C-alpha cells in the first residue's frame, strides 16, 4: 500500500511538471526562432519580391506585430490545443504532424526492434568465454556500430543494396505505383488491416533499408549495455549464491543474472525510444523518409515558425510522457528503486 | 538461448555465436525481397525530383517543383514554345490592345472543360485571376501591372493595365495564372486548396500528397492527348537517392533540379555513353555575384572593374560544372530580347592587375575580400573555392578571397541589410522576359545618386542605381521590337560599366530518362513536357545505342548558350507504339484531330 501510494505520488509529481516543461520548451523555441537570422518572408517570396508584397505578407502572417503580442497569441492558441497554420503551406500544423509523425514512429519502432534483437544477441553471445574471440568480436561490434557516422553508413547501405544490387528501393515509404493505405499513418498496420498485400509488400520493401540501418547503428548501445551489466551480474553475490545452491549455469544466467542485467537496458531502451520520437534526421534525409525530423529540418530552413514550434512542442510532450512511463516501469520492476 | 553448456558450464560458444551470425543471415534475407517489386502499370511513367510539393494551388505556387506539376495539370493563356515563340493556349488569339496600351482584350478558346466537367469561359478566367490577385503568393507579379480584370464577353476578358506593358503575353504564359474551376474552388476564394487541382490541362490529379502525385490523362482534354497513360511523380529528398533511383531503373525520368553538380556530371557521362537520354530546357537561370557598392572597399568602381577582369568564367565553368553551365557576361539569358553577350568585361588578369595597382593594391598590399556563398548549395561552394584558387594563381599579390558559407535564408536576409560584400547566388525569372531579370536586380524605388536606398537593387545586395535608370527600366516595358531591344542592351551596358553585379554562368533545367524512355523535352518556359514522355519500343541491341548517341550529340553547351533546345531530335507528337490507340481513355479526341498549336 505504501509503495503504491509512493508510486502514485511520484507519478503525480512527474506529470505536474509536464506543463511547466512544455511551456519552457515552447517559449524557448519561440524566442530562439525570432532571434535566429533569416526571414520567413524571404523563404516564401524569395529575396526579390517588392517591398509592398513583402509588407502585405508580413501583415497577413502576423509577423508585423510586436513580439510580446505574437507570443501572447502563440500561448493562447497553444492552451486551446491550436498549433496554428504553417506559413509556407497554409496547412494546419496538427495535420502536418499527423502526416509525418507516424512515419518516424514506424521507422523508429521497427529499427528499435532490430536493434534490440541484434544488439542483445551479440551482447549475450560473448558470455561463454569472457575476453574470448566471440566476446572480442561483440565488443568491436558494439563500439563499431555506435561509432559509425549515420549519414555515411546509410549512404553505403543505400548504394550497395539499392543502387548496385537493386534489391530494394533507394528511398521513400511506398512504391510510386502504389497508393498509401488509409488509416493511422502506420503503413504496415494500415495495409495489414486493409488486407492489401501489395501495399504491405511495398511498405516492407521500403522500410527494410532505413530500419536495418538505423537498427544496426543503435544495436551497439544494447550490445555494450547488456555485455557490461551481464558481466557485472555474473560476478555478484546473488549469482554466487545461486551457483552454490547447485543450479545449472544456464539457469543461473537466464533466471538470475539476465533479468537483473536487463533492467538498465530497459532504461536505455526508454531513452532510445524518446530520442526516436523526434525522428532520425540523417536516416530520414538519406532514405527520403517523410518523417517528422525531415519535416522539421525543412521547416527550420523555411523559417516556418508555427510548424517548428508545433513539432517541437508535440515531440517534447511525447518524449516527456515516454520518459515518465519508462521511469514508472523500472520502478515497478525493480523493488530497489525508492521515490 | 544457451540451452547447451560450455566448458565452464556457461552456454556454449557454438550456440551463443548465432548472435554474431545474425547479421549476414539478415542480409541474406534481403535478396528475396527484390522479387517483391510491384508491377508497373503499362504505359505509366515514374518521374522523380527533389522538390517536395506542399500545395498544387496556383495561388501557392512559387517553387519550380510546383510549377512543373502545374504545367501538366493546367493550361496558361499563352505558352512559350521551345523555339521561344509564343502560342495561344487557352487564349484563342493574341491580346488586342487599345490605342493607349492600357486595355487588353483577350479572346478565349471555346469548348474547353475543367477536370470537373464544368465549362471554361470568361467568368472562370476572371474568377481565377481575381483569386490570384487576392491571395496569390506571387500576386504582385499581376497586381503591379493590372488594375482590374473583367469579362467582356462569354469568351473574352479585358485587362485594365496600370501602364502599357509590352511583355503582357509572356506574363500571361506563367503557369501560376492557369485557370481553376470556380465550382471546385468556390469555398476557397480566400484560402488555398492545397491537395486538389481542378484545371483544364492534359492531366487531372488523381492522387496527391507531398511526396507523391499521380497524374492521369484527362479524357476530355481539348488538345492533344498525352503520349503516356499517366505519370507518377515522386519526391526523393537527396541527390544520391535520385541518382541511384534512375540508375537502378526504379524511376524512369529524373529532373535535375536539386541534383548536386557532380551527380549531374555523372548522369551527363552516362548519357554520353548511351546509357541514358538527356534533355535540357532553355537556359533561363543566371548565377551571379552581387557586389556591395555603397560601402568600402567595393564602393570603388575601379576595384569592381578589377574584380570583373579577375573572373575566369571559362575555367570556373569547366572545373565546376564540366562545361554544363556556360560562362555568362550579361544579366539577360541569351534567348531573351535584350541579350548582349559581351556586355560585361572579359577575363583579363593583366588589366585586372593594372586596375588593382591603380586602386593602391598589389605593391605589397593585398585586398582581402570576403566572398560568401550559400552553404546549402554544393555547387556554390565549389564555385567559390575555384574562383579563390584561380585568383590566388593569377593575382595572389593583389587579391585574396576569404570564402565562407551561409545558409540561404539567412544570407538573403543579410543581403538586404548590406552585410555581404560579395555574394554568389542565382536568379530565375517567374516568366521568361528580360524585364524579369533586370527589374528584380536593378529596380529602385528610392534613388540617391548612384545609391539605391530602397528597392530591388538594395534587396539584391548591390545597393546600386544610376540617375534615370529606373525610368529607363519602366520605359523598356512599354516599348516593343527593336526599340525595346536597343534600350535593354543600353541598360545592360550601363550596368556593366558600373559592375554592381558579376554574371558568372547560365543554367538550364535538365532531365534524364532511361534508355527505354523517350528523350526529355522542354517547353520555352523551362518545364519538362510530361505529356510527351513515353516508353520506346524494344529495338535490337546496338540500334538503341545509336539512337541515344544522336540525342546526346545535340545537347552541347553551345546549344545552351545559343538559346537552348532539346537534346534529342523532336519526337513526333504521337502515341507510343507500346500504347495502342484503342487504349486511349474514353472520349479522348483522336490525335489527328488535335489542335494545331502543339
- Which position has the higher pLDDT, B363 or B3? B363
Asked if A170 lies within 8 A of B236 by C-beta distance, the reply is yes
Beta bridge pairs of residue B426: B287
Q: Read off the pLDDT of each residue in B487-505 and give the average, rounded to a whole number.
A: 96
Tell me if chain A has a CB within 8 Å of the CB of B245.
yes
Asked if residue B138 has pLDDT above 60, the reply is: yes
Q: Read off the pLDDT of each residue in B442-456 and give the average, rounded to a whole number.
A: 91
Q: How confident is the model at residue B14 (pLDDT cuts 50, 70, 90)?
A: very low
> What is the model's pLDDT at position A339?
61
Asked if residue B30 has pLDDT above 80, the reply is: no
Of A45, A88, A171, the CB nearest to B236: A171
Tell me the three-class secondary structure of A273-297, residue by residue.
HHHHHCCCHHHHHHCCCCCHHHHHH
Percent of chain A with pLDDT over 90: 35
Asked if residue B313 has pLDDT above 70, the reply is: yes
Q: Read off the pLDDT of each residue in A246-266 and give the average, rounded to a whole number.
A: 84
B297: preceding bond cis by omega (within 30 degrees): yes
> If contacts are CB pairs under 8 Å, which of residues 1-30 in chain A contact chain B?
none
Q: How confident is the model at residue B383 (pLDDT cuts 50, 70, 90)?
A: very high
Q: Of all residues in chain A, what percent are helix, strand and coil, respectively (each to 5)? A: 75, 0, 25
Q: Which residues have a Cβ under 8 Å from the Cβ of A227 and sit 6 or more positions away?
A: A123, A126, A127, A135, A138, A139, A142
Tell me if chain B has a CB within 8 Å of the CB of A185.
no
What is the distance in angstroms between the Cα of B594 and the nearest Cα belonging to chain A?
Answer: 29
Helix (H, G, I), strand (E, B) or coil at B203: strand
**Contact criterion met (CB below 8 Å) for A80 and A71:** no
Phi, psi angle pair for B433, to nearest 5°: -155, 150
Q: Read off the pLDDT of each residue in A55-68 and give the average, rounded to a whole number.
A: 89
Tell me if chain A has a CB within 8 Å of the CB of B295.
no
**Contact criterion met (CB below 8 Å) for B539 and B311:** no
**Contact criterion met (CB below 8 Å) for B198 and B186:** no
Query: CB count, 10 Å around CB of A225?
Result: 22
Q: How confident is the model at residue B248 (pLDDT cuts 50, 70, 90)?
A: confident
Asked if B237 lies within 8 A of A285 by C-beta distance, the reply is yes
Q: How confident is the model at residue A123 (pLDDT cuts 50, 70, 90)?
A: confident
Q: How far apart are the first and last CA of chain B?
A: 71
Asked if residue A338 has pLDDT above 70, the reply is: no
pTM, 2 dp: 0.83
Q: How are beta strands B253-255 and B44-49 bridged, if at all?
A: parallel
Contacts of A179 in chain B (CB under 8 A): 207, 214
Q: How confident is the model at residue B27 (pLDDT cuts 50, 70, 90)?
A: low
Q: Name the helix (H) or strand (E) containing B286.
A: strand B277-291
Asked if A249 lies within 8 A of B251 by C-beta distance, the reply is no
Asked if residue B571 has pLDDT above 60, the reply is: no
Q: Read off the pLDDT of each residue in A180-208 and give the average, rounded to a whole number.
A: 92
pLDDT digits (tens, 9 = 90+) for B326-338: 999 999 999 999 9
Tell me if chain A has a CB within 8 Å of the CB of B319.
no
Helix (H, G, I), strand (E, B) or coil at B214: strand
pLDDT digits (tens, 9 = 90+) for B56-97: 999 999 888 999 999 999 999 999 998 889 999 999 999 999
- The count of CB pairs under 8 A between chains A and B is 229
pLDDT digits (tens, 9 = 90+) for B389-403: 999 999 999 999 999
Of A90, A155, A294, the CB nearest to B240: A155
Of B9, B19, B409, the CB nearest to A122: B19
Q: How confident is the model at residue B36 (pLDDT cuts 50, 70, 90)?
A: low
DSSP assignment string, B104-121? EEEEB-SS-B-TTSPBP-
Is the dihedral angle over the CA atoms A219, A222, A225, A231 positive or is it negative? negative
To the nearest whole number, what is the mean pLDDT of chain B?
85
**Contact criterion met (CB below 8 Å) for A218 and A118:** no
Query: CB count, 10 Å around CB of B360?
Result: 12
Angle between helices B239-247 and B261-272 (to 10 degrees): 20
Amino acid at each position: 500500500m505504501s509503495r503504491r501510494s509512493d508510486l502514485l505520488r511520484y507519478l503525480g509529481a512527474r506529470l505536474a511538471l509536464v506543463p511547466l516543461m512544455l511551456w519552457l520548451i515552447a517559449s524557448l523555441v519561440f524566442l530562439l526562432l525570432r532571434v535566429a537570422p533569416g526571414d520567413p518572408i524571404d523563404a516564401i517570396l524569395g529575396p526579390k519580391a517588392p517591398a509592398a508584397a513583402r509588407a502585405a505578407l508580413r501583415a497577413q502572417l502576423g509577423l508585423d506585430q510586436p513580439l510580446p503580442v505574437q507570443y501572447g497569441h502563440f500561448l493562447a492558441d497553444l492552451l486551446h490545443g491550436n498549433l496554428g497554420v504553417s506559413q509556407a503551406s497554409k496547412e494546419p500544423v496538427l495535420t502536418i504532424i499527423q502526416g509525418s509523425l507516424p512515419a518516424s514512429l514506424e521507422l523508429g519502432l521497427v529499427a528499435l526492434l532490430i536493434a534490440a534483437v541484434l544488439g542483445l544477441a551479440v551482447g549475450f553471445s560473448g558470455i561463454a568465454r569472457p575476453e574470448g574471440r566471440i566476446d572480442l568480436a561483440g565488443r568491436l561490434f558494439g563500439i563499431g556500430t555506435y561509432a559509425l557516422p549515420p549519414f555515411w553508413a546509410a549512404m553505403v547501405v543505400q548504394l550497395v543494396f539499392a543502387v548496385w544490387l537493386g534489391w530494394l528501393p533507394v528511398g521513400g515509404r511506398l512504391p510510386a505505383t502504389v497508393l498509401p493505405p488509409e488509416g493511422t499513418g502506420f503503413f504496415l498496420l494500415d495495409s495489414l488491416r486493409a488486407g492489401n498485400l501489395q501495399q504491405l509488400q511495398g511498405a516492407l520493401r521500403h522500410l527494410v533499408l532505413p530500419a536495418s540501418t538505423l537498427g544496426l547503428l543503435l544495436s551497439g548501445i544494447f550490445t555494450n549495455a547488456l555485455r557490461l551489466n551481464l558481466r557485472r551480474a555474473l560476478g555478484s553475490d546473488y549469482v554466487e549464491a545461486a551457483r552454490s545452491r547447485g543450479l545449472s549455469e544456464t539457469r543461473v544466467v537466464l533466471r538470475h543474472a539476465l533479468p537483473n542485467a536487463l533492467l538498465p537496458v530497459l532504461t536505455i531502451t526508454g531513452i532510445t525510444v524518446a530520442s526516436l520520437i523526434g525522428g532520425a534526421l540523417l536516416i530520414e534525409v538519406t532514405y527520403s523518409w517523410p518523417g517528422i525530423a525531415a519535416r522539421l529540418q525543412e521547416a527550420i530552413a523555411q523559417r516556418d515558425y508555427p510548424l517548428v514550434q508545433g513539432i517541437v512542442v508535440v515531440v517534447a510532450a511525447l518524449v516527456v510522457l515516454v520518459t515518465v512511463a519508462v521511469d514508472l516501469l523500472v520502478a515497478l520492476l525493480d523493488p530497489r528503486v525508492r521515490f | 538461448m544457451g540451452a547447451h553448456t560450455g566448458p565452464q558450464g556457461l552456454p556454449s560458444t557454438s550456440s551463443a555465436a548465432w548472435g554474431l551470425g545474425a547479421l549476414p543471415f539478415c542480409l541474406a534475407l534481403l535478396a528475396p525481397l527484390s522479387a517483391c517489386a510491384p508491377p508497373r502499370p503499362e504505359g505509366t511513367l515514374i518521374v522523380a525530383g527533389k522538390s517536395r510539393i506542399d500545395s498544387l494551388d496556383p495561388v501557392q505556387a512559387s517553387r519550380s517543383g510546383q510549377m512543373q506539376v502545374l504545367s501538366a495539370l493546367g493550361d496558361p493563356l499563352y505558352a512559350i514554345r521551345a523555339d521561344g515563340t509564343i502560342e495561344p493556349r487557352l487564349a484563342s488569339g493574341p491580346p488586342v490592345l487599345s490605342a493607349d496600351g492600357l486595355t487588353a482584350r483577350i479572346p478565349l478558346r471555346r469548348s474547353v472543360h475543367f477536370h470537373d466537367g464544368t465549362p471554361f469561359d470568361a467568368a472562370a478566367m476572371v474568377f481565377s485571376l481575381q483569386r490570384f490577385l487576392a491571395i496569390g503568393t506571387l500576386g504582385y507579379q499581376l497586381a503591379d501591372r493590372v488594375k482590374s480584370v473583367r469579362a467582356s464577353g462569354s469568351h473574352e476578358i479585358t485587362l485594365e493595365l496600370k501602364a502599357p506593358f509590352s511583355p503582357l503575353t509572356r506574363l500571361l504564359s506563367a503557369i501560376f495564372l492557369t485557370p481553376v474551376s470556380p465550382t471546385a474552388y468556390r469555398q476557397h476564394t480566400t484560402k488555398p486548396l492545397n491537395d486538389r487541382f481542378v484545371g483544364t490541362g492534359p492531366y487531372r490529379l488523381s492522387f496527391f500528397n507531398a511526396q507523391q502525385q499521380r497524374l492521369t490523362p484527362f479524357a476530355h482534354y481539348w488538345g492533344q492527348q498525352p503520349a503516356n497513360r499517366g505519370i507518377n511523380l515522386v519526391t526523393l529528398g537527396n541527390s544520391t537517392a535520385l541518382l541511384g533511383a534512375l540508375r537502378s531503373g526504379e524511376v524512369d525520368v529524373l529532373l535535375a533540379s536539386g541534383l548536386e553538380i557532380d551527380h549531374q556530371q555523372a548522369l551527363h557521362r552516362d548519357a554520353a555513353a548511351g546509357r541514358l537520354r538527356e534533355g535540357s530546357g532553355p537556359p533561363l537561370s543566371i548565377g551571379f555575384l552581387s557586389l556591395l557598392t555603397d560601402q568600402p572597399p567595393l564602393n570603388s568602381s575601379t576595384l569592381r572593374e578589377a574584380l570583373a577582369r579577375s573572373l575566369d568564367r571559362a575555367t570556373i565553368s569547366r572545373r565546376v560544372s564540366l562545361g554544363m553551365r556556360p560562362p555568362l557576361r550579361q544579366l539577360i539569358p541569351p534567348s531573351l530580347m535584350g541579350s548582349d553577350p559581351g556586355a560585361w568585361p572579359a577575363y583579363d588578369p593583366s588589366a585586372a592587375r593594372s586596375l588593382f595597382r591603380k586602386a593602391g593594391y598589389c605593391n605589397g598590399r593585398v585586398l582581402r575580400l570576403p566572398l560568401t556563398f550559400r552553404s546549402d548549395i554544393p555547387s556554390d561552394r565549389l564555385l567559390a573555392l575555384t574562383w579563390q584558387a584561380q585568383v590566388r594563381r593569377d593575382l595572389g599579390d593583389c587579391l585574396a578571397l576569404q570564402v565562407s558559407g551561409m545558409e540561404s535564408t539567412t544570407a538573403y536576409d543579410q543581403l538586404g541589410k548590406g552585410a555581404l560584400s560579395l555574394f554568389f547566388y542565382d536568379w530565375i525569372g517567374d516568366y521568361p522576359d528580360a524585364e524579369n531579370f533586370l527589374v528584380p536586380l536593378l529596380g529602385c524605388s528610392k534613388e540617391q545618386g548612384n545609391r539605391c536606398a530602397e528597392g530591388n537593387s538594395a534587396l539584391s545586395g548591390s545597393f546600386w542605381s544610376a540617375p534615370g535608370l529606373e525610368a529607363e527600366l519602366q520605359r523598356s516595358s512599354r516599348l516593343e521590337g527593336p526599340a525595346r531591344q536597343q534600350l535593354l542592351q543600353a541598360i545592360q551596358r550601363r550596368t556593366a560599366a558600373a559592375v554592381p553585379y558579376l554574371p558568372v554562368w547560365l543554367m538550364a533545367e535538365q532531365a534524364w530518362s532511361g534508355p527505354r524512355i523517350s528523350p526529355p523535352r522542354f517547353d520555352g518556359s523551362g518545364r519538362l513536357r510530361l505529356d510527351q514522355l513515353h516508353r520506346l519500343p524494344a529495338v535490337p541491341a546496338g540500334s538503341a545505342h545509336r539512337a541515344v548517341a544522336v540525342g546526346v550529340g545535340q545537347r552541347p553547351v553551345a546549344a545552351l548558350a545559343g538559346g537552348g533546345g532539346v537534346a534529342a531530335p523532336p519526337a513526333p507528337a504521337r502515341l507510343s507504339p507500346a500504347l495502342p490507340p484503342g487504349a486511349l481513355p474514353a472520349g479522348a479526341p483522336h490525335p489527328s484531330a488535335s489542335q494545331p498549336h502543339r
